[in-house]
Chain A
Amino acid sequence: MNEPAPKTVPLDDKAFRDQLVAIIPSLRAFARGLCGTRDMADDMVQDAMTRAWAARQSYAAGSNFRAWMFMILRNHYYTTLRKNARMVSWDPEVAERVLVAGPTQQDGLNVQDVQKALQKLPAEQREVLLLIGANGVSYEEAADIMGCAIGTIKSRLARGRVALTALIDGPAYKDEPSEKRPRPSAISPTG
């Protein structure tokens, strides 16, 4: 962290542009999960790309471009969150359980339900679930992107998963590996 930065060698503009193009799908996926809606997410990604282009001289060639881009995107997301009170997530304790369509024809959870439930989590938990669970970044990279310790990443991930599960399956759900467990009735009395 505190090592004296050797001279930062930026990428040439053409190479930078190519990296930017290549990362668009991952950025869109990360933003979609953060924002919950396609339009807002795509706006966010374009803003992040514009910012990245403007700041391209500060990107050191050979360093982790994905982490650098994700950091720009999530910083922009949090700035927007703070500016826009309507986007602020509410407390999962008081959030009502999301309506569950039930398992899809294949196996597993309905993706739309998970997307809705994600929006009810605290932003930090949503972010870490997306980075590690969806985008498949390592703990180390997630810690770099979010600017916190690996231990913090792990506890946010664990808490986020529990909260997400509770939102989808109802508060009574215990963390069991079985996918065949009987589902609780659609309406939970505890709300």
Chain B
Amino acid sequence: MLDYFLQQLIFALAIGAIYGLIALGYTMVYGVMRLINFAHGEFFMLGPYVYTFIFSGLIGLGGLAPMLDSAIAIIASFVIVGLLGVAIERFAYRPLRAYGRLAPMLSALGMSIVLQSAVRVTVGPQPVHFPAIVPSTPIDALGGMVTTVQFGILVAAVLLMVGLTLFVNGTRLGIWIRAASESWTTSSLLGIRVNRAVSLVFFIGPGLGAMAGIMYASYYGIMQPTMGSVIGLKAFTAAILGGIGSIPGAMLGGFLLGAIETFGTAFLPILSFGYIGTEYRDVFAFAVLILVLLFKPAGLLGETVSEETTVAKKDY
């Protein structure tokens, strides 16, 4: 039982780390723009595709050392997907700033259709095998079996999260981002170039999403154009769970959702004597979300916005 538990725990952490990385993109964009970026799941999907494209391109050109090829391809997919995010914000969201919050949200929805069908048209709708970046060998950890891939995902994701936290809290650009999330008007009055902060967020968010996509694809060994929809929705749930707009909240929400899902799936059939099966996994995640919001309406780490100080009195 204990090693089973440990194994599930590692699985929960790995999948939770992936949710967390995607949730960061949702939460940062929401922080500066109050926008639910429905296209974000597609950046997650683009990650492994761009990676494969660059990687096979490098191999085709003769290739360097195998690890170096992978590293270059990973960094390139971060940059390329990030730049795509910046371009999309510039052309599809920025012109809509003066028009309330529904218009940009729907524009994001349209962008999601565009990105997904663009990939489907170019590489075909069928799932494609994704080659493992690191060879998957099992490791024995305290009695539970863990694979190197799970371990690698966890380490890489935590490194990215620590890096982001240091960046946002410690650098000048990070201060811009935090200031822009706090108040758009005040920070522009103080000489912060808000548009640059927004562009920066739209670079980092999709980039992290792409990283999560590469991790997810190497975990399951497969990628397909529709993979971003469901995972995107779940990561968004994670962001809300942690309190949208809060960076540590997104990480916490991701891990929490991973744990809820994994342990729900693993133990629900046992606890309910087989009556509630694994097919209710997603119901479970959503039900927990609704419950949390009923008692903490701003999520776990979100700012508690009192009725009087609500930033946006007009909801939509």
User: Are A and B physically bound partners?
Assistant: no
Residues on A lying within 8 angstroms of B by beta carbon are: none
Residues on B lying within 8 angstroms of A by beta carbon are: none
